[in-house]
Homo-oligomer: A and B are copies of this chain.
Amino acid sequence: MREIREVIEGRAARLSAGDVRGHLAYSAPEVMQYSLAPPLGEKVDTTDPTQVEQWLATFEAPPRREVTQLEITVDGDVAFATSIDSLSATPKGTTDAFTLWYRVTLGLRRIDGRWLVVHEHESVPFQMDGSFAAAIDLEP
């Protein structure tokens, strides 16, 4: 349980430090990713940092990641974790700092003695008022 918590907090801290390879080292080589952005789902090769590096380059500085309400369920070599996270950043070339709160579910496996993320599901809900607007202004 403590090891899994360290994985989850460690990868958030590495991202906040702009250490993409360090961040990705907490993931299995292939991750089933349900991301904030389309598509619905894709298997991501985490040995290639290009995509995350390009995403980081869209901000003035590495985003600050916060993990709250973390709950971990584990047995043997399989675990899942739920949390309400935030990402605080300023888009490149602007002074429009924002904080986005979203839900995260991680699936983890212990492989060769190390806990690794094999599935990541990040999302915000959407308004059911007919606008189909992503609810990007929610707070926990």
Contact = CB atoms under 8 A, between A and B. Distances in A.
Interface of A: 32, 34-41, 69, 71, 73-80, 82, 84, 101-103, 105, 107, 109, 118-119, 121, 123-128, 132-136, 138, 140
Q: Is the interface of A mostly helix, strand, loop or mixed?
A: strand
Contact of A34 (B79, B103, B109, B127): B103
A38 to B, nearest CB: 5
B75 A75 contact: yes
A128 B37 contact: yes
B136 A134 contact: no
Nearest to A125: B38
A82 B38 CA distance: 16
Given A32-B82, A37-B128, A40-B124, A76 B76 contact: yes
Given A73-B78, A121-B121, A123-B121, A105 B136 contact: no
Given A105-B107, A107-B82, A125 B40 contact: yes
Nearest to A101: B40
Contacts of A140: 40-41
